[in-house]
Amino acid sequence: MAATILYGDLSATSATARPEGDALWLTTGDLVTATRWEIKPEGVCRDDMCIPVPEDRAASMLREQDGATWFNLAEFARYIGQPYAHDEAQGTWYFGAGPGERRSALESLQAPDFELQDLEGRSHRLSAHRGKKVALALWASW
Amino acid sequence: MFAVACDTKGREAVEPFIAAANSTYPSVLDTKHVVAELYNTRNVPAVFWIDEEGTIVRGNDPVYLTRRNRETGETTINERYQDAIRDWVANGAASIYVTQADETLRRIGQPEDENAQATAHFRLGVHLHEQGRREEAIAQFKQAHALMPGNWNFKRQAWNLGDIEQDYGTTTREAFAIGIPMYPPLELPEPPGA
């Protein structure tokens, strides 16, 4: 069964994903492609961070099946307090940023950076305006 | 100035406004409401003042600097707010309109657990909507609304993509009457000598 995985800015389709109720099992290869998390001896690692798999969750997070190692991404999200939502009919999963991550980003009052395009397709990054004062205005047509 | 249009409908919805503004500053489109999540906003408009070092020195002001009337196309300017910005440009941190760090944080508010979960549903809803999965999108938007009734971005955007009565079983009048404030107070000090 296939699943579409939206992981923050990343988007990937896994042809072999195995969604089982509240679980989303991915091969370790698809895990890296979809999320950049990688299984290592020290735990689940991304960039310079590793999260050890706790013993009491090992069975619900990792399993060997059909000659491959599988990782339960939904269980991992619950463990690290990451919000996620999924649509069963479409097999689409969205994993977002945790409230702690957002809180600590704002607490410093450093303006969170982002890059978006204007209608001509030109990219603009907020931090490119460092050194000048910026009035950041959010608006909408609705 | 750096303007961000929080609009899932995209170009067709925002182009008339952006064309009319004919701005020299960056005016970008944010169909997924990424910036609203980063800055913890719950409605538009919302204006943040960011100083030369990239620090937020005033946040979440519910004001339009200019406003274009949908029917007449006429543009009006919020002079009091523009004067406040001019004062900040001239005086920097000494401007009476700059807020202290703890006050700035209070005005921006803290992202709560429900907020993050509601955002996950909203974001999945946007994706499903973009894939043409209308019904599935509405189901996700409803979950976002239930988890975070005070987030008017989630509500107004979802209604804008569908039909508020048919899809959400309410009316704008009813929905706005539930007693959840649409906007924080502006709390702009009176200019000296006023």
B78-137 confidence digits (pLDDT tens): 999 999 999 999 999 999 999 999 999 999 998 888 889 999 999 999 999 999 999 999
CA distance B45 to B63: 6
Q: Is pLDDT of B7 > 90? A: yes
Whether B88 and B19 map to the same domain: the answer is yes
The shortest CB-CB distance from B116 to any of A99, A119, A133 is to A99
> Is residue B136, in this structure, part of any structural domain at all?
yes
Q: Specify the pLDDT at position B43.
A: 96
Alpha-helical segments (H) within B22-133: 34-38, 79-91, 101-108, 113-130
> Is residue B188, in this structure, part of any structural domain at all?
no
Whether B17 and B95 map to the same domain: the answer is yes
Q: Does A56 touch chain B (CB under 8 A)?
A: no
CA distance B42 to B155: 10
> Is residue B145, in this structure, part of any structural domain at all?
yes
Percent of the residues in chain B that have a pLDDT greater than 70, as a whole number: 99
Q: Does A142 touch chain B (CB under 8 A)?
A: yes
Q: Which residues of B touch A77 (CB under 8 A)?
A: none
Q: Tell me what the mean pLDDT of segment B18-45 comes to.
A: 94
**Residue from B73, B51, B60, B69 nearest B153 by CA:** B60
Exposure string over A90-112, b if 16+ CB within 10 A, otherwise e: bbbbbbbbbbeebeebbeebebb
Q: Specify the pLDDT at position B179.
A: 82
Q: Are B100 and B61 in contact (CB under 8 A)?
A: no
Please report which helix (H) or strand (E) contains residue A60, including its range.
helix A58-61
CA distance B119 to B38: 11
In terms of Cβ atoms closer than 10 Å to its own Cβ (0-12, 13-18, 19+), residue B55 is middle
Note down the domain range covering B33: 3-108
> Is residue B32, in this structure, part of any structural domain at all?
yes
CA triple B69-B40-B22, angle to 5 deg:
35
Whether B79 and B145 map to the same domain: the answer is no
> Is residue B185, in this structure, part of any structural domain at all?
no
Q: Specify the pLDDT at position B140.
A: 98
Q: Is pLDDT of B194 > 70? A: no
Regarding predicted confidence, which is higher, B176 or A40? A40
φ/ψ bin of A131: left (φ > 0), alpha (ψ from -120 to 50), beta (otherwise): left
Q: Does A87 touch chain B (CB under 8 A)?
A: yes
Helix axes A99-107, B113-130, angle to 10 degrees: 110
The shortest CB-CB distance from A96 to any of B35, B51, B119 is to B119
Whether B82 and B158 map to the same domain: the answer is no
**What value does the mean pLDDT of chain B take?**
93
> Is residue B172, in this structure, part of any structural domain at all?
yes
Whether B138 and B103 map to the same domain: the answer is no
pLDDT confidence band for B181 (50 / 70 / 90) = confident
The shortest CB-CB distance from A138 to any of B46, B139, B157 is to B46
Whether B15 and B60 map to the same domain: the answer is yes
Whether B84 and B153 map to the same domain: the answer is no
Contact check, Cβ <8 Å, B29/A119: yes
Whether B41 and B83 map to the same domain: the answer is yes
If one counts the domains in chain B, the total is 2
Q: How many residues does chain A have?
A: 142
A45 CB neighbour count, 10 Å cutoff = 16
Q: Is pLDDT of B177 > 80? A: yes
Q: Specify the pLDDT at position A109.
A: 96
φ/ψ bin of A91: left (φ > 0), alpha (ψ from -120 to 50), beta (otherwise): left
Q: Does A136 touch chain B (CB under 8 A)?
A: yes
Whether B93 and B124 map to the same domain: the answer is no
> Is residue B194, in this structure, part of any structural domain at all?
no
Q: pLDDT tens per residue, chain A (142 residues)?
A: 789 999 988 999 999 999 999 999 999 999 999 999 999 999 999 998 999 999 999 999 999 999 999 999 999 999 999 999 999 988 999 999 887 888 888 999 999 999 999 999 999 999 999 999 999 999 999 9
Whether B123 and B101 map to the same domain: the answer is no
Whether B137 and B151 map to the same domain: the answer is yes
Question: What is the nearest CA distance from B102 to chain A, expressed in angstroms?
Answer: 9
**Residue from A70, A93, A66 nearest A82 by CA:** A93
CA distance A133 to B156: 30
Cα–Cα distances in angstroms (integers) from residue B95 to residues A122, B77, B122, in the given order: 34, 21, 38
Please report which helix (H) or strand (E) contains residue A79, including its range.
helix A73-80
Please report which helix (H) or strand (E) contains residue B175, including its range.
helix B172-176
